[in-house]
Structure 1
């Protein structure tokens, strides 16, 4: 489920439900601490942020819930090189894409990504 917390806090929207997968695509430094607090035991947190601001997450908050934290630098300034590799067919990224869904099915895509990792590697959301 994708939730908009611009007006209602995320914790209030979840009503006690503890997510097993949280992906921070907003990249605000406060989100990691909130994600750790809201996550279920053994949850996965995907972090795309690159902020240099300090964060209030403790080691205990991660290990006591056995959380997994996954990070990404997003592109590492390699877009031109990777695009060239794709044009020359040196790499075939389509082999990683297992599903294509319309943007309106974002919730289905998230569920698929979360619940079926053996069948689902990458999901492309199509905007039409």
Structure 2
């Protein structure tokens, strides 16, 4: 395994947030619903989903257990197309798609594209 770049780490963080958001929305849960289920707060859930700041792997594991999501899948970087597909599917589950949320998703897609260009390893 080669050296891990900052772009690789950023893509993994994006992937974790995107996959967990999709899993939550598939279950029909709000950030508040999930936070209550895991004895946390919706701000922490939002930060993970927007890949802001650092979160312990223990908290991510608890979220995965609650959402029936395979924890290990979060850390194997998917292809650009697969990750963009996750974002598109997430859009379909959003019931309150505001202009701000749409901006977030558009920005997220651009960021995924840019990070994969930086990584440039044929992901």
With normalisation by structure 2, the TM-score equals 0.24
> By percentage of residues, which structure has more strand?
1
Query: Which has the higher relative contact order, 1 or 2, with Cα contacts under 8 A spaced 6 or more apart?
Result: 2
> By percentage of residues, which structure has more helix?
2
With normalisation by structure 1, the TM-score equals 0.23
